[in-house]
Amino acid sequence: MRLPAISTQRKLGSTGLEAAGLGFGCFGLSNAYGPADPAEAVATLHRALDLGCSLLDTADIYGAGQNEILVGQALRGRRAEAVAATKFGFVCDATGKVVRRDASPAYVREAVEGSLKRLGIERIDLYTLHRVDPQVPIEDTVGAMAELVAEGKIRGVGLSEVSVEQLRRAHALHPIAAVQSEYSLWCREPEREILPACRELGVSFVAFAPLGRGFFSGALATNELAQQDFRRSLPRFQAESLARNEKFLQSLAELASRKQITLSQLALSWILAKGNSIFAIPGTRRQRHLEENVAAMQVEWTLEELEEIDRISAMHQDPGARYAPGSLFAPE
């Protein structure tokens, strides 16, 4: 049975904004995956806007603020074409290293002013708490964010990597526009609880790392990762887990070949087919990869094909931990 075509434009919660289901994650445009070229990064962002990938997602800690500056450069003269999204909640030391979480109301205000200045805009479309601060009740943080909405500094309130209980408490105080969590073929945990809760509450879902941080592109040579590449610290890219995961990748490659699409297009269109309230935000530094990703919005699936992906996925249930033990990025 052929399923309906993927909806290209999707509503972002109750903000009144719409964006293409495929957005752009800006994390890799700084130095997270090795040395980056700022000029090439801005050119890639411009190409993303050309192709209608209007949801641009960054964070104040990416590149210790430099990522927001890059996005700001790309937005000059093109602000109306973009849904500008950024995140806050981590504090860096003088070297740019993340040292702690802070979601206190005072820090919410400090952080938003910094992001607005670096982005060079008057209002952030989606402002997301990067991680819950265990020392601060979620109501205190969201209450401060709601004040920013009332003041016109942000348009929508977002949360990242939250539990259903935290989402419900926050949403009872102020409408949550979107929840952002890692979601991909090797990270399907959101399907258990948070995705159903988002659908119930009318909250959009933003899938970050939808290509498994590049793994599901099928072109990642893990032995060639730069020394400063963030992925070197992730258990899923360590030798033992990697051997298992590569078997999973091969099974998917066979299906992609039969369907005459790339692995990246399979991984992204699979996410987008999960519902019209879901956005995927892959990142890339190369315009040709961006164009390949955008074509995923045109891929149509049959129910039988999606069931086949589920069967393949069920055989590969141990990809390894998402983060190293003690990581500040791991959800509480």
Q: Which of 62, 107, 127, 183 is catalytic?
A: 62
Q: Three-class SS of residue 55?
A: strand
Q: What gap in Å lies between CA 62 and CA 27, rounded to an integer?
A: 6
Mean pLDDT of all residues in 115-143? 98
- Render pLDDT for 140-185 as a digit per residue (tens, 0 to 9): 999 999 999 999 999 999 999 999 999 999 999 999 999 999 999 9
pTM of the model: 0.93
Q: Could you give the number of structural domains in the chain?
A: 1
Whether the Cβ atoms of residue 74 and residue 49 lie closer than 8 Å to each other: yes
Residue type, 139: E
Dig out the tokens for 134 from the structure. 């265990």
Which CATH number fits the domain that encloses residue 71?
3.20.20.100
Q: Is residue 322 in a domain?
A: no
Dig out the tokens for 316 from the structure. 């590969």
Q: Is residue 217 in a domain?
A: no
Q: What gap in Å lies between CA 228 and CA 206, rounded to an integer?
A: 27
Neighbours of 201 (CB within 10 A): 17
Q: Is residue 317 in a domain?
A: no
Q: What gap in Å lies between CA 313 and CA 310, rounded to an integer?
A: 5
Mean pLDDT of all residues in 296-303? 93
For residue 37, give Cα distances in angstroms to 9, 30, 180, 253, 273.
Answer: 30, 8, 27, 31, 33
- Our answer to whether residue 107 is catalytic in this structure is no
- Render pLDDT for 230-252 as a digit per residue (tens, 0 to 9): 788 788 888 778 788 888 899 99
- Render pLDDT for 20-37 as a digit per residue (tens, 0 to 9): 999 999 998 986 666 678
What domain range includes position 135? 19-211+275-299
Mean pLDDT of all residues in 92-99? 87
Neighbours of 51 (CB within 10 A): 18
Q: Is residue 110 in a domain?
A: yes
Specify the length of the chain in residues: 332
Taking the alpha carbons of 283, 244, 228, 230 in that order, is the dihedral positive or negative?
positive
Q: Is residue 329 in a domain?
A: no
